[in-house]
Chain A
Amino acid sequence: MFYIYCPYCGEHREEEEFHPKGQAHIERPKEPEACSDEEWGNYLFFRDNPRGVHHEMWVHAVGCRKFFNVTRHTVSYEILETYKMGEQPSITADSQSQAREGAAVSQQEGVRA
């Protein structure tokens, strides 16, 4: 059971009040007519399926009925952050792996000392 922070309501709510709405940050091509079939097909049908950090769109269906974004870890299901539409995530797969590398380096240094 998730306990999700709604950035619009400003508090944590039960998962029952929310619906997942798929991958976030998908931008519709500015000029659909100018798209190749492959570009249009990728936009319409193909979604990321990462193992690790994933950005998703959720809707607070029973509360304020606003859409917002959730950064979730697909292995641990941990919700790393939620943020409003139009905002950019502060936690990404890159920032997570950098943090992990940084931690690994400091551990090695610790071993040496």
Chain B
Amino acid sequence: MSNAATFDTRTDTAIPVESPLAYSYRRSGAPQAGGPSRLQLRERAMLGHLILRGGAIVLDEAVRDVLGISLPGQPQALVQDASGERSIQWLSPDEWLVIVPGGEEFPLETKLREHLGSAHFAISDVSGGQTLVEISGEAARELLMKTVIYDVHPSHFPVGKGVTTVFGKATTIIRRPSEDRWELVIRRSFADYCYRWLLDAAAEYGVNVQQ
């Protein structure tokens, strides 16, 4: 066990918490398409986000023992467990993003630290700094096509891929966990910008925002 100081960011004390989009919901609302909707937006708030850094071989062993998922070694790869609730994404040759259901991140971090011992690695809890927005519906790809600079054609962006690229003017992680679902991991400080961009871009498709 390393001697890094860690603490659980979720306390038993009743502190009011708000998702990064709470302000945006108040300010811009959550539009509902009256008629047929070709696009659904949903924030999956309060998930646990961890950044793992270190050597691929050492981390892979630890992650497989603790989470039961193997670390994606290929660039731009995204792997999930059977339930689809937990995922690991390649961000850089020595950096991975782990997303788990809210509340699991601290026990996971502790277990990984125990497992990794004195190996050379870093784990950072970035749950408070970013949020995940899910886009689904038949117009999802059309919306991305006019928003991101990356080629989102299925032949270039198959299921199980995730890239860090530019969304509007903001740095965003775009992932495709399944055939009809896309995920955006956006920074908290850019959340309102991205949300308003999404609403504006999605208006023509009749967007449904689920809260």
Residues of A within 8 A of B150 (CB): 13-14
A11 and B75 in contact, given A16-B149, A17-B149 (Cβ under 8 angstroms): yes
For the complex, give the distance between the alpha carbons of A11 and B151 in Å. 12
Q: Mark B64-103, 1 if CB is under 8 A from A, else 0.
A: 0000000000011000000000000001110100000000
Q: Is the CB of A64 within 8 A of B149?
A: no
Q: Is the CB of A66 within 8 A of B171?
A: no
**Min CB distance, A74 to chain B, in Å?**
25
Interface residues of A, count at CB 8 A: 13
Residues of A within 8 A of B24 (CB): none
* Interface class of chain A by DSSP: loop
For the complex, give the distance between the alpha carbons of A66 and B166 in Å. 16
Q: Is the CB of A65 within 8 A of B149?
A: no
A10 and B171 in contact, given A17-B149, A63-B165 (Cβ under 8 angstroms): no
A61 to B, closest residue via Cβ: B171
Q: Is the CB of B92 within 8 A of A14?
A: no
Q: Which one, A10, A14, A16, A62, contacts B164 given CB within 8 A?
A: A62
**Min CB distance, B193 to chain A, in Å?**
16
**Does A8 interact with chain B (Cβ within 8 Å)?**
yes
**Does A9 interact with chain B (Cβ within 8 Å)?**
yes
Residues of A within 8 A of B93 (CB): 8, 64, 66
Q: Is the CB of B166 within 8 A of A8?
A: no
Residues of B within 8 A of A64 (CB): 75, 91-93, 95, 164
**Does B63 interact with chain A (Cβ within 8 Å)?**
no
A17 and B166 in contact, given A9-B75, A9-B76 (Cβ under 8 angstroms): yes
**Does B202 interact with chain A (Cβ within 8 Å)?**
no
- Which residues of A pack against B, CB within 8 Å? 8-11, 13-14, 16-17, 62-66
A11-B75, A64-B75 known; 10 other A-B pairs, CB under 8 Å? A8-B93, A9-B76, A9-B163, A10-B76, A13-B150, A17-B149, A62-B166, A62-B171, A63-B163, A66-B93
